Structure 1
Amino acid sequence: MPLTRMGWVLSVLILALYAGVTAVVLTNPSPDPFSLFVRLSALWGFLALGIATILTAFLRDIRRVFGRPFLAVHHTFAAFGILFPTLHPVALALQTANPAVFIPVFDSWTAFWTLAGRPALYLLYIAVAGVLLRQTIRQYWRWVHGLMYAALFLAIVHGNLSGTDFANPGIFVVFNGLFAAVIVVFIVRRLQRMRSQKKRQATAGSGT
């Protein structure tokens, strides 16, 4: 199926969002290319993960709008949502010559939340593993994959507490608004699942 008009509109809006975020970062110059990439990779990654998560609330509409199966669209954003958050600490480690940037900090409440991006990365990997192992852990893979929400929570806290670009009002509003949308999707998906479960139970009960 070809991309529909709504699909084109949404695609342009997403590209404009990325372009706007990138422009904001570029207007606040970094001292070196590593610093610039550290900032951009964090923001690009969160955008991709946030969009991938929000799309789950529109399972039946994605093919109609984008002309492609839901999983193809979802996994495209998810792939970038894994790549850039991985490159973010890699670039920081190369810049600072300090591999400790991968190690979560637990000896201080303030430090843990300020550096919450570190445990967020590992939760992200575990959430992805839940999908890869869904045939093995059929009863639990959704719970494991649901750790993506916890990863996004830790990431947004990390961004608000230590992100250079969160001092910009536009970045602050866009990314916190995106996370608020993720929370709405979380609630909607849980309600949908509860209704679906009740229907199955009702159907099973009427058949006995």
Structure 2
Amino acid sequence: MPLTRSGLLFAAVILALYAGITAAVLTSPYGDPLNVMVRLLALWGFIALSIATILTPFLRDIRRVFGRPFLAVHHTFAAVGILLPTLHPVAAAINAADLAVFIPVFSPWTTFWVLAGRPALYILYIALAGVLLRTYIREYWRWVHGLMYVALVLAVVHGNLIGTDFQSPIVRWTINTLFVLTIATFVIRRWQMMTRAKKRRPQSA
């Protein structure tokens, strides 16, 4: 099934997000090519992961808009959103010739938040494991997968504190707006789940 007009509009918005972020990074005066790639990988990954999350309350609308099942669309963005943040510290380690970028720092508290991208990566993989192991943890996999939101919180704080490109209004507003939409999605999704649970609950006499 081909993309609908709404699907094409949504795809155009996504491309505009990536184009705007990329242009903002490439026109900034910071760093060598590898440093630029380190920053782009983080920003591109955050966009993909945010979109994957923002889509979750709209299960029934995704097929109508994209002409594909929800899981196919969601998993495509999620896969990109996991791959690129994984490559981000790899490129950073190569650029700095230092494997310390993979080691979380928990103290002092301010340093934890400055380097919050490090634990965010591991939490991201724990959230992924929640999906892969859902057959074995049927009652808990949604809670484990929900750690994705924790990873996004850590990532956006990390970016705002030390992200070179967050000096750009385009980058700062785009990423922070996506984060706000992600939190709104979390609230909407929880409300949907509570509503369904109430409907399934037997009425008392």
**TM-score range for the pair, normalised by the shorter chain length:** over 0.9
**d(CA) in 2 for partners of 1:157, 1:184:** 17
Q: Which secondary structure state, in structure 1, belongs to the residue aligned with residue 160 of structure 2?
A: helix
Shift of 1:29: 3.6
Which consecutive unaligned segments of at least 5 residues does structure 1 have? none
- What is the TM-score normalised by the length of structure 1? 0.96
5 Å-filtered alignment, 1:111-122, equals 111-122=111-122
Shift of 1:31: 2.7
Alignment match, 1:16: 16
Alignment match, 2:150: 150
**d(CA) in 1 for partners of 2:167, 2:32:** 20
**d(CA) in 2 for partners of 1:71, 1:165:** 32
How large is the Cα RMSD of the aligned pairs?
Answer: 1.1
Q: 1:101-127: CA deviations, max 9, x gaps?
A: 001001211110000000000000000
Q: Is the CA contact (8 Å cut-off) linking 2:20 and 2:170 kept in structure 1? A: no
**d(CA) in 2 for partners of 1:192, 1:7:** 24
Q: Is the CA contact (8 Å cut-off) linking 2:113 and 2:158 kept in structure 1? A: yes
| Matched residue count | 205
Alignment match, 1:88: 88
Alignment match, 1:170: 170
Q: Is the CA contact (8 Å cut-off) linking 2:55 and 2:74 kept in structure 1? A: yes
Alignment match, 2:102: 102
Q: 1:2-23: CA deviations, max 9, x gaps?
A: 1101101110110111011000
Q: Is the CA contact (8 Å cut-off) linking 2:103 and 2:118 kept in structure 1? A: yes
1:198 aligns with 2:198: yes
- What is the TM-score normalised by the length of structure 2? 0.98
Shift of 1:32: 1.6
**d(CA) in 1 for partners of 2:31, 2:126:** 34
Q: Relative contact order: is structure 1 or structure 2 higher (C-alpha 8 Å, sep ≥ 6)?
A: 2
Q: Which secondary structure state, in structure 2, belongs to the residue aligned with residue 56 of structure 1?
A: coil
Alignment match, 1:3: 3
Q: Which secondary structure state, in structure 2, belongs to the residue aligned with residue 6 of structure 1?
A: helix
Alignment match, 1:35: 35
Alignment match, 1:132: 132
**d(CA) in 2 for partners of 1:71, 1:20:** 27
**d(CA) in 1 for partners of 2:36, 2:170:** 18
Shift of 1:30: 3.8
Q: Structure 2: which amino acid aligns with 1:98?
A: D
Alignment match, 1:180: 180
Q: Which secondary structure state, in structure 1, belongs to the residue aligned with residue 56 of structure 2?
A: helix
Which consecutive unaligned segments of at least 5 residues does structure 2 have? none
Q: Which secondary structure state, in structure 1, belongs to the residue aligned with residue 60 of structure 2?
A: coil
Q: Structure 2: which amino acid aligns with 1:21?
A: I
Alignment match, 2:51: 51
